[in-house]
Amino acid sequence: MNLKMSLDKKSLIQIIVLVVLVVGGAGAYLMQQDGGLDFITGFFESDSATPARSSSAPVVRMKSANAPANRQAREKVPEIPSIPAKGEIHGMPFIVESSSIENGVLTLRLGKDVTADLEVRLMLSTPPWEVPAGKTFKVLGPAGAGAPQVVLAWKEPGQPAASEQKFTDKYKLLLDFGQEKNGKLPGKIYLTLPDEVKSNVAGTFDADIKGFRIVDGKPDLAADSVDTLQFLALRDLLKNDASKTLNVVALRDGRYAQAEKPGGNMTGYIEVEYRLGQAPPSIERFQFEKAAGVWKVARTLNAHQLDEAHPLQTPGPQSSSTKRMTYLAAGKLEADIQKKSPLKGIYEPAFTTRLSDKFKIGVCEIRYKLAPDGDTEKTVYLFRRQARGWTLERELGKKEKVNFDTGRIVRR
């Protein structure tokens, strides 16, 4: 694989990389300007960032580079209890309620919220998309080069963000992974940390395998990850043509969502701004669908079209009010702009809905730009709830607004 790299003058950390895609051997020059390309640059950050080995890969044993080998051998190997992992973190009881492995990070959590009540993260020294099946990590003496980093996170009363403490040395760790099965990676852990309360966790866990990954040298297109969508979008732009020079300006608004109806397919979206050779920048918007357990490009939209106006699963009268109103408003805005300014695109749309079931009235406000670097504009559409559901009635005037206490339209 050839690799050509140069610094992007707009940022010290932005790099042009050459990616050779698995299918067809097609290559592309990818330039990151607004973020979202981390999964690609990782291929070239170190020699370790290579396609994953098979599950029969040899065991990895982390030892200190500073301590003699016989010193580690003399250390007593901890016995890991055959019980669900638990312990004490930051002076509080810790029970592992969920665990995951993603991009080389093992996360053990207590709590159901987005921000865990207590959390232990281990940054493993493995390629970022390799699942460390069958591997062992052992640190019983001073942590040497390549040893995992450990991060504790906990909630402080009244604080919106979690507090964290990082450990890179003076801890003891024995971490054994089994073989992957049904999307999970079983493991067992013994960890003690050198903080004041000697935080610790020991026992077994079954980590959910998440994120984009490489399996036997090929991307796992079943992985639910924005990185998977990025890969598919870039491959589609190349069309398996190795002679194309694709300069990626930005990848925006990458997201995926569960099916709205039971039995439906997951859907996803991402916007790519790019240049082919020296041509002016172009915008292409990709819609994705996960069918038969594998992500694929469902269709593409141009800069004049909004994802919300062309969903793969059209919101019907029985859909949530927010989904239905957003869908109708996006379609109306798209049509209005095409009529008034047919050469303009629509960029960075943001939708806000508000409604009153009592008065059967609602609005959908859309903020957007007519050029990537243009000014933000605003349009507000008025909705009425009829027997058949929400109906878009008209655009509100610049000096009109809905008084939701009375259900009346008033002047500002």
Give per-residue pLDDT as tens, 17-73: 233 333 333 334 343 333 444 444 444 333 333 333 333 333 344 443 344 445 544
pLDDT one-digit tens code per residue, 133-168: 999 999 988 888 889 999 999 888 777 778 899 999
- CA nearest neighbour of 267 among 336, 315, 334, 199: 315
Per the CB < 8 A criterion, the answer to whether 247 and 29 are in contact is yes
Q: Are residues 339 and 383 in the same domain?
A: yes
pLDDT for 177: 97
Phi, psi angle pair for 310, to nearest 5°: -130, 50
C-alpha distance from residue 245 to each of 66, 170, 196 (Å): 46, 48, 55
Tell whether 63 is covered by a domain: no
260 and 346 belong to one structural domain: no
Question: Do 205 and 227 share a structural domain?
Answer: no
Q: Which residues of the chain have pLDDT under 50?
A: 1-69, 72-73
15 and 83 assigned to the same domain: no
Structure confidence at residue 303 (pLDDT): 93
Residue 11 domain flag: yes
Closest Cα partner for 269 from 250, 293, 288, 251?
288
**158 falls within a domain:** yes
Helix (H) or strand (E) holding 326: helix 321-340
Contacts of 91 (CB under 8 A, 6+ apart): 197, 199
Of 107, 104, 111, the closest CA to residue 130 belongs to: 104
Q: Among all chains, which residue has been given the structure tokens 């003690």?
A: 192
Q: How many domains does the chain have?
A: 3
Please report the beta strands in 234-292, taking only residues with DSSP state E, as ranges in sequence order: 246-257, 266-276, 282-291
- The rounded distance, in Å, linking the Cα atoms of 351 and 180 is 41
Written as six digits, the tokens of 53 are 């080995």
Question: Which tokens go with 202?
Answer: 């020991």
Which of 146, 181, 209 is the last residue in one of the domains?
Answer: 209
| pTM, full prediction | 0.72
Are 283 and 359 found together in one domain?
Answer: no
pLDDT at 240: 56
Question: Which among 151, 165, 45 is positioned nearest to 106, based on CA atoms?
Answer: 151
Domain end, chosen from 267, 302, 337, is at 302
Q: Please spell the DSSP secondary structure of 192-240, one letter per residue.
A: E--STT--EEEEEEEEEE-S--EETTEE-TT--SHHHHHHHHHHHHHTT
Q: Enumerate the β-bridge partners of residue 190.
A: 174, 202
Q: DSSP letter at 170?
A: S
The two tokens of residue 222 are 């079943």
| Residue 215 lies inside a defined structural domain of this protein | no
Residues 355 and 290 in one domain: no
Residues 244 and 297 in one domain: yes
Whole-number Å distance between alpha carbons of 320 and 169: 51
Residue 15 has a pLDDT of 26
Rounded CA-CA distance 344/87 in Å is 59
- Token duo for residue 112: 């159901």
- C-alpha distances (whole Å) from 17 to each of 3, 28, 246 are 7, 8, 10
Provide the token pair at 398: 């610049």
Same domain, 85 and 173: yes
Q: Could you tell me if residue 314 is inside a domain?
A: no
Looking at residue 383, its pLDDT comes to 98
* Stated length of the chain: 412
Q: Considering the domain boundaries, does residue 55 fall inside one?
A: no
pLDDT at 61: 44
Write out the residue range of the structural domain in which residue 387 sits: 321-411
Residues 6+ apart with CB under 8 A from 183: 208, 209
- In this structure, is residue 217 part of a structural domain? no
CA–CA gap between residue 127 and residue 131 (Å, rounded): 9
Check whether residue 394 and residue 343 sit in a common domain: yes
Same domain, yes or no: 89 and 196: yes
| Residue 97 in domain | yes
Among the candidates 209, 243, 273, a domain finishes at 209
346/73 Cα distance (integer angstroms): 64
**In the sheet that 377-386 helps form, which strands lie side by side, from edge to edge?**
347-356, 361-369, 377-386, 389-395
| Under 8 Å between Cβ of 62 and 144 | yes
In terms of domains, do 100 and 174 share one?
yes
Q: What is the pLDDT of residue 68?
A: 47
